[in-house]
Amino acid sequence: MLGEIDEELLRAVAKYLKRVERLASSEQADQRTKLGALMSEHLGVDAATLPIVTEQIAAHRFVDADLALDALTRENDGRVIGVTGGEQRLHSSLAELITNPYHPFAEGPVSYEARATGPGTERRVVSFGIRLLRIDGVPLVIVQRGASPQHGRETAQLEVLSADEGLATESVRRMRQLMIEHSVLRGKVLSFVSNEYGQDAGASFLARPEVPAEAIVLGDGVLESVVDHVVGIGEHRQALVEAGQHLKRGVLLYGPPGTGKTLTVRHLLSRTPETTAIVLTGSSIRFITAAAEIARTFQPALVVLEDIDLVAMERAHSPQPLLFEVLDALDGLETDADVAFVMTTNRVQVLERALAARPGRVDLGVEIPLPDAAARRRLFRRYAASLPFSDAALDSAADRAEQTTGSFAKELMRRSVLAAALRGDGLPPTDEDLGAALDELLSSGAALTRLLLGGRSEEAEADDGEHVHYEGEYGTF
């Protein structure tokens, strides 16, 4: 139990402690770094007293953010400065850059890094810098940092300081708008790069392929039905929207490997030059949510998910299989979004049950089957176009090459040319070279090669193609 005297004593001690605290904080004020002082001078108040508004930027949007911030800085007569202090500045929080008895951070050179802005183009973006600007006369500080996982910074981030807190938030909103206006993603064909931890490390850009319809040999009306659904709906968006019809669409191309699914996708990409396309293959399909977000933001858009069977049942971010994430991403888009999802698979049976469990997302399934005899003849003629084989030899070779694919036809012609070249007499390949190359490829010793080129091996036939798949041609995109 406390007596009156004790209480008085306690009050005195409390008062004393408060004085100690005040003294300590006024000493801390003296520990502002030069950088802190510079920021405070710009802001017109002690920078250490202001709340920090933080904004994360996904790696694949970092170039857009840099462009937006440059525009904002330019519009408002601002400038960008860097920070001295080597590695230490990377480890330090903004508060530590402003107030620090151990590290005298000061204005220094801005750090930059090169980032892709298109196929074969780059931009120098600020990876560590501080932007000092005024919006409507009100001073603002924006610290811009790229992701740096080795320093515990998983994503790029902005920190905004202003005596006017509303303005800090408003400037972030304005920057987000400018990021869309100035985006380098719009109208490009892009994919995702992942870092060593499998996280988003930025966008990579692919040259838009040029594959004319004439380059594709499929059954009657097959290519047209795909093109009408993917390209046609986009071209007639006005009429469809006016009639209350939805624009978003999901297409599944299925069939054995090597039959032209990827080729068809590449044709779609060349048919839609203004469209923003995101191409995800295999494990990069886990970036589906980000891809859908890009598609929504930069419509008209095409999301390509190649060989989706390879990862369909894996789990990435959520406990549900990736295929469900894909279908939910498709479902999450507004119905009037001009976005097409095009998926390809060699093994539709892996997907069937999942697709049936989420009906309505994929509204067109198109089989790209093995070419029949007539299609094989066309394929052989097409891939032998520049070679001096007789029509009779080509047709008979095509007739013999049952159960083979377009990629087989292409490889056969290459082997015929190689056989002639190896002979070393400088003469072009002959019908005999063609026949011999075909014998070789059809021999039992070449069973694995045939499997790699697609089509059906006896083994694959027995268990319905659960074996090796030919991964398509993304290398040449």
Ligand X SMILES: Nc1ncnc2c1ncn2[C@@H]1O[C@H](COP(=O)(O)OP(=O)(O)O)[C@@H](O)[C@H]1O
Residue 217 touching ligand X (CB under 6 A): yes
259 contact, one of ligand X, Mg ion, none, CB 5-8 Å limit per kind: ligand X
Residue 139 touching ligand X (CB under 6 A): no
Q: How far is the CB of 326 from ligand X (least distance, A)?
A: 18
Strands 138-145 and 111-118 turn out to be: unpaired
Which lies closer to ligand X via its Cβ, residue 94 or residue 401? Answer: 401
Residue 281 touching ligand X (CB under 6 A): no
Q: How far is the CB of 382 from Mg ion (least distance, A)?
A: 18
Cβ within 8 Å of residue 234, ≥6 positions away: 247, 272, 275, 300, 338, 340
Question: What ranges make up the beta strands (E) of 58-188?
Answer: 79-83, 107-108, 111-118, 121-135, 138-145, 156-161
Residue 263 touching ligand X (CB under 6 A): yes
Element (H, E) at 241: helix 237-242
Residue 472 touching Mg ion (CB under 5 A): yes
- Write down the residue that tokens 């440059």 correspond to: 70
Q: Which of residues 311-370 bind ligand X (CB under 6 A)?
A: 344, 368
Q: How far is the CB of 381 from ligand X (least distance, A)?
A: 11
Q: How far is the CB of 262 from ligand X (least distance, A)?
A: 3
Residue 78 touching ligand X (CB under 6 A): no
Which lies closer to ligand X via its Cβ, residue 298 or residue 408? Answer: 408
Which lies closer to Mg ion via its Cβ, residue 81 or residue 285? Answer: 285
85 contact, one of Mg ion, ligand X, none, CB 5-8 Å limit per kind: none
Q: What is the DSSP string of 58-94?
A: -GGGHHHHHHHHHHHHHHTT-EEEEE-SHHHHHH--H
Q: Report the residue from 258, 300, 429, 465 that binds ligand X according to the rule CB under 6 A.
A: 258
Q: How far is the CB of 469 from Mg ion (least distance, A)?
A: 8
Residue 346 touching Mg ion (CB under 5 A): no
In 3D, which of 250, 276, 278 has the Cα closest to residue 345?
Answer: 250
263 contact, one of Mg ion, ligand X, none, CB 5-8 Å limit per kind: ligand X
Binding mask 160-199 for ligand X (x = CB under 6 A): ----------------------------------------
Binding mask 401-420 for ligand X (x = CB under 6 A): ----xxx--x----------
DSSP state of 153: B
In 3D, which of 203, 191, 216, 224 has the Cα closest to residue 266?
Answer: 216
In 3D, which of 223, 274, 220, 289 has the Cα closest to residue 251?
Answer: 223
Applying CB under 6 A, the site for ligand X has a residue count of 21
Residue 467 touching ligand X (CB under 6 A): no
Binding mask 218-257 for ligand X (x = CB under 6 A): x--------------------------------------x
Residue 36 touching Mg ion (CB under 5 A): no
Q: Report the residue from 216, 302, 362, 366 that binds ligand X according to the rule CB under 6 A.
A: 216
Query: What does the alpha-carbon distance between residue 383 and residue 398 come to, in Å, rounded to a whole number?
Result: 12
In 3D, which of 387, 444, 383 has the Cα closest to residue 260?
Answer: 383
Cβ within 8 Å of residue 149, ≥6 positions away: 195, 197, 199
Instruction: Give one word for 426, left, alpha or beta, with left for phi > 0 and alpha for psi -120 to 50.
Output: left
217 touches 371 (CB < 8 A):
yes
Which lies closer to ligand X via its Cβ, residue 123 or residue 382? Answer: 382
Instruction: Give one word for 10, left, alpha or beta, with left for phi > 0 and alpha for psi -120 to 50.
Output: alpha
Query: What does the alpha-carbon distance between residue 129 and residue 387 come to, in Å, rounded to a whole number?
Result: 59
Residue 261 touching ligand X (CB under 6 A): yes
In 3D, which of 185, 211, 365 has the Cα closest to residue 275?
Answer: 185
In 3D, which of 302, 308, 407 has the Cα closest to residue 348?
Answer: 308
129 contact, one of ligand X, Mg ion, none, CB 5-8 Å limit per kind: none
- Only one of the segments 64-72, 101-109, 433-441, 466-474 lies at the binding site for Mg ion (rule: CB under 5 A); that segment is 466-474
Number of H helices, E strands in the chain: 19, 14
Q: Which of residues 243-272 bind Mg ion (CB under 5 A)?
A: 261-262
Q: Which residues bind ligand X (CB under 6 A)?
A: 216-218, 257-263, 344, 368, 379, 405-407, 410, 454, 470, 472-473
Q: Which residues bind Mg ion (CB under 5 A)?
A: 261-262, 472
